Amino acid sequence: MSELKQTEKIATRESYGNALVELGKEHEDLIVMDADLAGATKTDKFKKAFPDRHLNCGIAEANMAGIAAGLSTCGKVPFISSFAMFAAGRAYEQVRNSIGYPHLNVKIGATHAGISVGEDGATHQCLEDLALMREIPGMVVMNPCDDVEARAAVRAAYEHVGPVYLRFGRLAIPIINDRETYKFEIGKGVVLKEGCDVTIFATGLEVNEVLQAAGMLEKDGIKPEVINIHTIKPLDEELVVSSVSKTKKAVTVEEHSVIGGLGSAVCECLSEKAPAKVLRIGVQDVFGESGPAEELIKKYGLDAESIYKKVKTFVKEH
Amino acid sequence: MTILELEKQANEVRKGIVEAIHAAKSGHPGGSLSSADIMTYLYFEEMNIDPKNPKMENRDRFVLSKGHVAPAYYSALAHRGFFPVEDLLTLRHTGSYLQGHPDMKHIPGVDMSSGSLGQGLSCAVGMAQAGKMDQKPYRVYALCGDGEIQEGQIWEAAMWAGAHKLDNLTVIVDNNNLQIDGTVEEVCSPYPIDKKFEAFNFHVINIDGNSMEELRGAFAEAKAVEGKPTAIVAKTIKGKNVSFMEDVAGWHGKAPNDEQFAEAMADLEKAGEALCQN
């Protein structure tokens, strides 16, 4: 972990494409599927390396989910790739009934999640996918925070037997984890900073924003504990409870609706096991809009500065 | 099996359907009875399967895309020896493995969970694609309803199967002409079904889907087709062989009461006796 060394930036969709090529070399049963977005989901690299194991389903995500289900019953391990809006949204019921209900070994690589899609605007900015996927029994839901973690998550998804939803972004983001020492475990949160005044749970690209916000809070004498929740389901309840039992206050930060995602998952856990005041930072039950990704992140209050201000007020008031 | 033996077997499968739905006090008799001959032909004649080894690697695969006719599927599987025929009476009961719609996790011989209309054909296409990729000898069969093909996903799957020349795939459309709200034409006509599949690059065969003779011919023809998937448009009678259920939309999803059950079983007994006269 070296949050100060933020020179290299890479979008996690790139990490997805690169990790698939690496895994493809090791595993003959790995199949990559697309719905006419291989250039955008970055799976075109896999297509180039393993043309016989890449299936383009055309613009038909529901069918892609079903074909993947059928392939998996015959021993293949398909990774279906599309934008989060279409992978989790358009094909929701296929994912639920054809993949989730029979608990098939299909992996869903959903890129272009959140408002950081940018200029394409609200129709393509999926802010509900974590909620949709988290509801499906047996579904593992991951939202990695940088290139290092994203590659590790793809590998973990392959190794896990059962359906997995992987959330990736379009925007290039800093690498904050150490390539050499990073270890990934499904369902285990990562304490990035120890503190005693408030616990900030962050996921995806918000982890980096939160680390920067934490630096600002420390200058004001507030010591936040920062925890990266890369697996939204199963949630690391033990860590959530133990940290908040110490700090007594929790903040969740995600590039997702405040309804149904990380904020909800943490609230569900705490309200039952360790009631505490929670501030949910995310998109506030509204649709997104067009604009450059960084500007939207600021406008919707998901940048380090905005997070710093909100957490500071929250800590003072409670 | 001879045609007569298949017809007798189909009559037994029909009895199982009626008994199971009566015991469940709910379910879908109309489409189960219309597709009973197709299901019987597949499981007793056409498919390479082994009831003692339901997961046999190179077995032929079947997907019941119109999953609500599970009673026909279960009855065929039970009579073929995948599980005890007595268990049919637990259909839809709490705790039974015989769920209202096919559940591959718990039912021996079921290759894919299904029931949400429109989804099964895509899964069958995936199985056929896997067979092509691994150069496996198995064939894949999917049974769709004529109402079900109103779902757009069916045509996504058909487009892909045709484009990829999946000649190891056979789709059967149980064309009984009725859906919940009336005739398929009244609701939203899928006709011409054959021309639609032709346009999606399928080899198409039109048959009487309640005739074992015609089913035999169609499946043999499908097997010989190269470079195209096959669609068998099987004209059937909803509620077939139970007189008061035949061609009545109201029997799509309703269980017979005790009196109706006795009448239905008497019809099937009679049909069985008639077959024995031959």
Q: Which residue of B has its CA nearest to A57?
A: B160
Distance of CA A29 to the CA centre of its chain: 25
Residue B239 has, within 13 A of its CA and on its CB side, a CA count of: 20
**Would you state the structure tokens that stand for residue A249, as one six-digit string?**
């206050």
CB contact, 8 Å: A76 with chain B? yes
Q: What tens digit of pLDDT does each residue of B5-14 get?
A: 999 999 999 9
Q: Collect all residues from B whose CB is shorter than 8 A from any CB in A.
A: 61, 63, 103-105, 111-116, 118-131, 133-134, 136, 152-153, 156-157, 159-160
Contact A70 B126 (CB under 8 A): yes
| Residues of A labelled as active-site residues | 61
What is the reported pTM?
0.96
DSSP A256-301: EETTTSHHHHHHHHHHHHS--EEEEEEE-S-----S-HHHHHHHTT
Q: What is the distance in angstroms between the Cα of A74 and the nearest Cα belonging to chain B?
A: 6
Contact A70 B116 (CB under 8 A): no
pLDDT of residue B116: 98
Q: What tens digit of pLDDT does each residue of A264-298 get?
A: 999 999 999 999 999 999 999 999 999 999 999 99
pLDDT band at A8 (very low <50, low <70, confident <90, very high): confident
Do residues B20 and B75 lie in contact, with contact meaning Cβ atoms separated by under 8 Å?
A: yes
Contact A70 B119 (CB under 8 A): no
**Mutation choice for B interface testing from A34, A61, A67, A99 by most B CBs within 10 A:** A67
Give the SS3 label for residue A178: coil
Could you say which of B111, B113, B126 has the minimum Cβ distance to residue A68?
A: B126
Give the SS3 label for residue A194: coil
Averaged over A187-194, what is the pLDDT?
98
Domain ranges of chain A: 3-174, 190-317
pLDDT in tens, chain B (278 residues): 999 999 999 999 999 999 999 999 999 999 999 999 999 999 999 999 999 999 999 999 999 999 999 999 999 999 999 999 999 999 999 999 999 999 999 999 999 999 999 999 999 999 999 999 999 999 999 999 999 999 999 999 999 999 999 999 999 999 999 999 999 999 999 999 999 999 999 999 999 999 999 999 999 999 999 999 999 999 999 999 999 999 999 999 999 999 999 999 999 999 999 999 87
pLDDT of residue A318: 86
**Does the pLDDT at position A2 exceed 50?**
no
pLDDT of residue A1: 46
Q: Which residue of A has its CA nearest to B123?
A: A70
Q: What is the distance in angstroms between the Cα of B54 and the nearest Cα belonging to chain A?
A: 13
Q: What tens digit of pLDDT does each residue of A221-246 get?
A: 999 999 999 999 999 999 999 999 99
Contact B160 A68 (CB under 8 A): no
Q: What is the distance in angstroms between the Cα of B134 and the nearest Cα belonging to chain A?
A: 10
Could you say which of A55, A66, A93 has the minimum Cβ distance to residue B123?
A: A66
Q: What is the distance in angstroms between the Cα of A50 and the nearest Cα belonging to chain B?
A: 13
Residue listed under structure tokens 């050499």? A180
Could you say which of B114, B130, B157 has the minimum Cβ distance to residue A74?
A: B130
**Mutation choice for A interface testing from B119, B140, B166 by most A CBs within 10 A:** B119
- Cβ-Cβ pairs closer than 8 A, A with B, add up to 104
Q: Give contacts of A54 with chain B, Cβ < 8 Å.
A: none
Sequence-distant (6+) residues with CB within 8 A of A305 are A213, A216, A298
CA distances B251 to B136, B192, B269, Å, are 41, 25, 20
C-alpha to C-alpha distance for B198 and B168, rounded to whole angstroms: 17
Contact B123 A57 (CB under 8 A): no
CB contact, 8 Å: A82 with chain B? no
Do residues A139 and A164 lie in contact, with contact meaning Cβ atoms separated by under 8 Å?
A: yes
C-alpha to C-alpha distance for A138 and A270, rounded to whole angstroms: 21
**Does the pLDDT at position A104 exceed 70?**
yes
Averaged over A27-43, what is the pLDDT?
97
β-strand pairing of A54-56 with B203-208: unpaired
Averaged over A139-151, what is the pLDDT?
98
Contact A70 B123 (CB under 8 A): yes
pLDDT of residue A6: 53
Q: Which residue of A has its CA nearest to B102?
A: A102
Complex ipTM = 0.96
Determine the Cα angle at A40 with ends A2 and A79, to 5°.
Answer: 85
Q: What is the distance in angstroms between the Cα of B103 and the nearest Cα belonging to chain A?
A: 7
Architecture (CATH level 2) of domain A190-317: 3-Layer(aba) Sandwich (3.40)
Determine the Cα angle at B102 with ends B97 and B104, to 5°.
Answer: 75
Whole-number mean pLDDT of chain A?
97
CATH number of this structure's domain A3-174 = 3.40.50.970
Q: Rounded to the nearest 5°, which phi and psi values hold at B90?
A: -95, 5
Do residues A259 and A227 lie in contact, with contact meaning Cβ atoms separated by under 8 Å?
A: no
CB contact, 8 Å: A56 with chain B? no
| Residue A5 CB-density burial (10 A; 0-12 exposed, 13-18 middle, 19+ buried) | exposed
Q: What is the distance in angstroms between the Cα of B156 and the nearest Cα belonging to chain A?
A: 6
